[in-house]
Amino acid sequence: MHGIPQDDALMGFLWYAGAFVIAIGILVTVHESGHYLAARLCKVRVLRFSFGFGRPLIRWQRPGAETEWTICAIPLGGYVKMLDESEGDVSAQDVERAFNRKSVWQRLFIVSAGPAANLLLAVLIYWIGFVQGVSEPRPILGEPTPNSAVARASLRAGDEILMVGERATRTWADVRWGFVQAMAGQPQVELLIRSGSNDRRVTFSTPSLSDISDESDPLKELGFNSFRPEFPPLVGTVVAGGAAERAGIRVGDLVLSVDRQPVKHWGELVQIISAAPDRSLRLELSRAGQRLALDVIPEKHTQGGQTIGRIGVGVEASGPWRERLFVEIRYGALDAFGHAIVKTWEMAGFSLRMLGRMIVGEVSLKNISGPLTIADYAGQSAKVGLDAYIRFLALISISIGVLNLLPIPLLDGGHIMYYLAEIAFRRPLSQRTMELGQQIGFVLLACLMAFAFFNDITRLLS
């Protein structure tokens, strides 16, 4: 068993760390910009816009400007500091620009603008994706896993899933999302299946999400496998920065053998590489009529609760097979905007339902992820490509927006709760009540962070 060279390990760490810092930088800047722009719109004086917490590393402020811009040592958040009489003396000429002097509706608007900015970022990303179009695999079944729920439902290789419940499914992503939604509360779901030229309906029992093992693909656990024709082992794509690119593999290379074991089709290549994480493999290739041999070390990835190897290559699938197996998802500008809003709304609502199920114990707290897991996903999505990384940003942006709307003091949602109470009771809450709420909020957030870090470390060690 060969270890990963130190240079590769360092480059891998820097790649994941860089992808994480860029993601957090974008999402925090968007969130705090929402607060900042809303405050400026309401004529509140902004004293500081900070990316990160802790000791300031960089400070700058334009001559004559009111706002100081800082980058701090801990890049896990940020804040916008506004003029406020509760935090210090305010001069008579500036008192009308203090946050606490604004109407409750203006304060509610300023506090809500941060989470709203995160959700709007997700809408923008999805809208651009829908307008540009993306090619995704159709939900055509491969051979079901023996003795699985899919096999028991009499589904066969070649069947295409047209609907999950009331949701039309054009891609495997649609099928996965439909099943995850069903697992969140439905004991069974009806599938519309196309077998050849005939359509039929199948009632499919759905386990609860709490019965699905952590970090696994729900479709794999149910026995779904995508249809894979026997494509030749011809490299169609090479992931930038991946193991294949570092080893010198290029688009157009034909893999002849791995460790002297002949490779007849792409599925065999995937199987061999998946079974060899962190182990050096010798690939014999044909390139422009010449033979050459290259050594590559598959990188470890977790999929379906198992550790597999990947080198970062994709199959060359063109012609009639590509038309059969892939569908182009594209909408006009107006339709794309509507689909983007619906997708963001569905993702946000599902996140809230999952949080509620965690609170009542129906879903494991192991599903809470911290910065290490986010960094892992950031690095993996960045290796897949820019499109995957941007979609990852949309997902995390929704999560940040939803998390900040929770009615927990210290979060934006806690302040929203205070201002709604002020509107209902027609007077601000007492200082003692707000201080007590802050203490409770601190304890709740500390527990949440402790769970997140514990889960991160557990995943890392396993």
C-alpha 396/C-alpha 382 separation (Å) is 14
Is residue 337 included in any domain, yes or no? no
* Contact call for residues 321 and 265 (beta carbons, < 8 A): no
Contacting residues for 351 by C-beta, under 8 A, at least 6 apart: 398, 399, 402
The residue out of 315, 337, 352 marking a domain boundary is: 315
Model pLDDT, residue 362: 66
Q: Considering the entire predicted model, what is its pTM?
A: 0.77
Residue 444 domain flag: yes
Annotated active-site positions, please?
32
pLDDT of residue 215: 53
Q: Would you say residue 70 lies in a domain?
A: yes
Comparing C-alpha atoms, which of 36, 23, 29, 21 is closest to residue 51? 29
Cα distances (Å, whole numbers) of residue 390 to 113, 386, 395: 22, 6, 9
Under the phi-then-psi rule, with left for phi > 0, alpha for psi from -120 to 50, and beta for the rest, what region is 52? left
pLDDT of residue 146: 86
The reported pLDDT for the residue numbered 47 is 93
Full domain range(s) for residue 298: 235-315
Answer yes or no: is 371 within a domain.
no
Same domain, 123 and 13: yes
Bridge partners of residue 282, in order along the sequence: 295
Cα torsion 344, 347, 349, 354 to 10°: value is -160
Domain stop point among 289, 315, 341? 315
Centroid of chain to Cα 66 = 36
Contact status, residue 404 vs residue 96, Cβ threshold 8 Å: no
Q: For position 456, what pLDDT does the model report?
A: 72
The total number of structural domains that make up the chain? 2
For residue 306, the domain's CATH number is 2.30.42.10
- Domain-located, residue 97: yes
Instruction: Give the pair of three-digit tokens for residue 287.
Output: 């390139």
Q: Which residue has the tokens 């769970």?
A: 451
Q: Is residue 40 part of a domain?
A: yes
Helix (H, G, I), strand (E, B) or coil at 27: helix
Residue 356 belongs to some domain of the structure:
no
Does residue 306 sit in the same domain as residue 403? no
- pLDDT tens string, the chain, 462 residues long: the values are 344 455 556 666 787 888 888 898 899 999 999 999 999 999 999 999 998 888 888 999 888 888 999 998 887 788 999 998 888 788 888 889 999 899 999 999 999 999 999 999 999 999 999 999 887 888 999 888 888 888 888 888 889 999 998 889 999 888 888 888 887 777 788 899 998 888 989 888 877 665 555 556 778 878 888 887 777 889 988 888 888 999 999 999 999 999 999 998 888 899 899 998 889 999 999 998 899 999 999 988 776 557 788 998 888 766 566 677 888 888 999 999 999 999 999 899 888 887 877 777 666 666 677 778 888 888 888 877 788 899 999 999 999 999 899 888 888 998 999 999 999 988 888 888 888 888 888 888 888 788 777 777 776 665
Which domain-ending residue is among 282, 315, 348? 315
Q: 187-192 — which CB contacts under 8 Å span 24+ positions?
A: 189/164, 189/165, 190/163, 190/165, 191/153, 191/161, 191/163, 191/164, 192/161, 192/162, 192/163
Q: Has residue 202 been placed in a domain?
A: no
In Å, how far are 71, 82, 284, 361 from 74, measured between CA atoms? Answer: 9, 21, 47, 32
